[in-house]
């Protein structure tokens, strides 16, 4: 079956660091209705949402909808937007970090620039009272995975003392290299878990993206259970196509969220799917599905 063309973060964000707002490529429509009542009743899963998937909706209006439905915050945001989000009574649940998906910590030639920008961003994140900053491995470009992991260890060890001092979590995102981010190195949970073990820092965790890891390895629930010690943040997304997480796709997100809750996970589960239908209606549906 031919898969419908999906919109990846690479398509939407170009080379910008993990999620800044080059969102003209995201195909959704603004939602002009007034915010509706909450759909999050249990609240045992701390839910958030990635802003880039809803770029056609003005930020303040989007925050009103997010707040009303009971989500807690927005993911992958840059400093200029942090005050707007906080003024709306929401959290910035994941700040954008230094570098970008393709050029990351696995290449020592990037380290000096990443460390400089990373330390600057860590201080900004801490000053704003935010919990998390995202980072990326970078692409392989012919580099063996073991070598890339060792390079990531060397580079990240240069910023983790500051992260530990400031109380900020550094999260490396797991992405698929099969469809959306060709050649990306941190594309399997085992590789990310090995990196986390070698770094052995309470402030380094994995951003486990369910959409990406379903494409790469499947076995989502058991993989989460076995690696929960290294997982600090989770993203959702429907497979195939990175669209709604309802019965149009192959994963049972309600059961996945039940399993996440059973592990004792206390981080955020942030929705990162590109809606094909009315975006706010789809987001409300996702919030209800994950409110276990």
Here the CATH number for the domain that contains residue 199 is: 3.20.20.150
In a domain, 33, yes or no: no
What pLDDT was estimated at residue 35?
77
Look at residue 36 in the predicted model and tell me its pLDDT.
Answer: 80
Q: 104 in a domain, yes or no?
A: yes
- DSSP letter, residue 184: B
Domain assignment present for residue 5? The answer is: no
- 176 located within any domain: yes
Q: State the pLDDT confidence band at 4, using cuts at 50, 70 and 90.
A: very low
pLDDT at 286 over 60: yes
pLDDT value at residue 216: 98
**Residue 139 DSSP class:** B
Mind listing the pLDDT tens digit for each residue in 80-105? Answer: 999 999 999 999 999 999 999 999 99
Distances (CA, A) of 263 to 29, 51, 238: 37, 27, 22
Residue 114 has pLDDT above 70, yes or no: yes
* Tally of domains within the chain: 1
For the chain, how many helices (H) and strands (E)? Answer: 11, 8
Q: What is the residue range of 142's domain? A: 43-290
Residue 23 has pLDDT above 80, yes or no: no
Confidence of residue 5 (pLDDT cuts 50, 70, 90): very low
- For residue 12, tell me if it sits in a domain: no
Q: Are 77 and 95 spatial neighbours (Cβ–Cβ below 8 Å)? A: yes
3-state secondary structure of 186: coil
Query: Nearest-CA neighbor of 270 among 151, 27, 95?
Result: 95
CA distance 114 to 121: 10
130-187 pLDDT per residue, tens: 999 999 999 999 999 999 999 999 999 999 999 999 999 999 999 999 999 999 999 9
Task: Report cis status (omega within 30 of 0) of the bond before 240.
Answer: yes
CA 25 from chain centre, in angstroms, equals 19
Q: What is the pTM of this model?
A: 0.90
Instruction: Decide if 6 contacts 242 (C-beta within 8 A).
Output: yes
The answer to whether position 162 is within a domain reads yes
* Distance, CA of 51 to CA of 5 (rounded, Å): 20
Does 81 fall in a domain?
Answer: yes
């Amino acid at each position: 079956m031919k898969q419908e063309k999906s919109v990846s973060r690479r398509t939407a964000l170009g080379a910008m660091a993990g999620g800044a707002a080059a969102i003209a490529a995201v195909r959704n429509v603004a939602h002009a209705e007034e915010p509706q009542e909450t759909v999050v009743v249990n609240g045992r899963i701390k839910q958030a949402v990635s802003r880039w998937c809803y770029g056609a909706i003005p930020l303040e209006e989007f925050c009103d909808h997010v707040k009303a439905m009971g989500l807690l915050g927005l993911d992958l945001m840059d400093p200029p937007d942090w005050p707007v989000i906080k003024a709306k009574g929401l959290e910035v649940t994941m700040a954008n970090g230094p570098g970008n998906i393709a050029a990351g910590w696995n290449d020592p030639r990037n380290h000096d620039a990443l460390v400089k920008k990373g330390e600057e961003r860590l201080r900004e994140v801490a000053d704003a009272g935010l919990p998390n900053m995202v980072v990326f491995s970078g692409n392989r470009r012919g580099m063996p995975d073991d070598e890339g992991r060792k390079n990531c260890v060397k580079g990240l060890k240069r910023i983790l003392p500051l992260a530990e001092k400031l109380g900020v979590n550094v999260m490396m995102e797991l992405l698929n290299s099969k469809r959306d981010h060709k050649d990306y190195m941190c594309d399997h949970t085992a590789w990310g878990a090995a990196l986390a073990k070698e770094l052995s820092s309470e402030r380094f965790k994995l951003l486990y993206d369910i959409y990406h890891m379903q494409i790469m390895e499947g076995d989502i629930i058991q993989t989460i259970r076995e690696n929960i010690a290294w997982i600090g943040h989770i993203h959702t997304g429907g497979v195939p196509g990175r669209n709604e997480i309802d019965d149009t796709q192959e994963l049972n997100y309600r059961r996945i969220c039940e399993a996440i809750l059973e592990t004792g996970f206390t981080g955020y589960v942030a929705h990162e799917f590109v809606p094909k239908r009315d975006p706010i209606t789809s987001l409300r549906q996702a919030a209800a599905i994950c409110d276990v």
